[in-house]
Chain A
Amino acid sequence: MHLTSTVKDNAIVVTVVDTRIDAAVAIKFKDSMRDETKEGPDRVILDMSNVDFVDSSGLGAIVAVMKLLKTGQLLELSGLTPTVDKVFRLTRMNSVFAIHLSVEEALASKAA
C-alpha cells in the first residue's frame, strides 16, 4: 500500500497512490495510515483521486483509520471517483465524513 503525505496550510494531506483499497490491502492501508498520521496537524485530508475502487473491507478500514486518529484529529476525504462515491452513497457513509471534490477545494474550505 503506497501512500505519500505532505503538510499544507495546517493540514496533513495523505495521497493514496494505489488504485484500489480492497480486501487484499485493507489492513496494510490501515497500518500505513496510522504511520502517516501519528504526527502533524489535526486536520487529515485523505486524497483518494487515484483510487478507482473501494470495497466494504476498504470502507471499514477508512472508518477504522478515523477511530485511530489522535484526539482532536479529524479525517476528511477528497477526490472520490465515481465507483468509490457510489459505495459511500449506498452505505450512507457519505454522511459521516466531510467530502471535498479536490485537495485544493478541501484546503480552501475551513476544517469541518
Chain B
Amino acid sequence: MQTERLHFPGETMAVRHALENLKAKVIPYLDSAEETSTVEIVLAEVLNNIVEHAYAVEEGWIELQFGKVSNGIEFDIYDEGVPMPDGKPPIPELSSLDVATDDLPEGGFGWFMIHDLTKELTYRRENNKNHLSFRLFVGKHLFAN
C-alpha cells in the first residue's frame, strides 16, 4: 500500500463518508473483520474529536494520511483547529460503572478507546496545525511468512 491521502471537511457527515473511503482503501490489506473494526473505531473517534473540539467554533478541513509500516499501519491526521488542551491528548480514566444509573458516564469513552487500541500515539502542534499520529497493529503483512 502506497501512502494514501484523504482530505475532507471537518463535519460529521463528511467524516462518515471519509470512514467509508478509508475502509475501502484499507480492507484489502487487513487480516480480519476484527482489524477492520479496530480501524473504524479509532478513526471515527479521532475524526469526531476534531469535529467536536478543534472545529467547535470555526469550521475547517481534515487531512488523513495512512500507509503500511513494518509493525502495522501508520496514520497521520492534520487539522487547522484549536490546539488540544495542555498540548497533549487527554488520557481519561474510565469512570466507575458500579454506580446508580443516573451517575453512569455518558462520555470519556472516545479517548479511552483510542489509547487502548493505538501504539505510539503522538500529538504535535506545528505551523498552526494539529498533527496526531499513531500506529495500529493491523495488517496481513504482520502475519506473512
Q: Do chains A and B interact in one complex?
A: yes
Binding site for B on A (CB under 8 A): 20, 22-24, 53, 55-57, 59-61, 63-64, 66-67, 82-83, 86-87, 90-93, 95-96
What total of chain B residues lie within 8 Å of the partner, measured CB to CB?
A: 30
Query: Which residues on the A side are within 8 Å of B101 (C-beta)?
Result: 66-67
A60's nearest neighbour on chain B, judged by CB, is B106
Dominant SS at the B interface? helix
**Complex Cα spacing A110 to B125, Å:** 54
A/B pair count, beta carbons within 8 Å:
75
Contact B112 A91 (CB under 8 A): yes
Beta-carbon contact of B97 and A93 below 8 Å = yes
| Cβ–Cβ contact B52 & A23, under 8 A | yes
Q: B residues within 8 Å of A by Cβ?
A: 12-13, 15-16, 33-34, 36-38, 40-41, 44-45, 48, 51-52, 94, 97, 101-102, 104-107, 109-110, 112-113, 116-117
Report Cα–Cα, A43/B132, bound state, in Å.
Answer: 44
- In the complex, are the beta carbons of B109 and A91 less than 8 A apart? yes
Kindly list chain A residues whose C-beta atoms are within 8 Å of the C-beta of B102: 67
Q: List 22 A-B contacts (CB under 8 A).
A: A22-B12, A23-B44, A53-B40, A53-B44, A55-B48, A56-B45, A56-B107, A56-B113, A60-B106, A60-B107, A60-B109, A61-B106, A64-B106, A82-B37, A83-B40, A86-B37, A87-B41, A87-B113, A90-B41, A90-B112, A91-B94, A92-B97
4 further A-B pairs in the complex, CB-CB below 8 A; given A56-B110, A90-B112, A90-B117: A23-B44, A24-B16, A60-B106, A87-B41
B45-A83 in contact (CB<8A): no
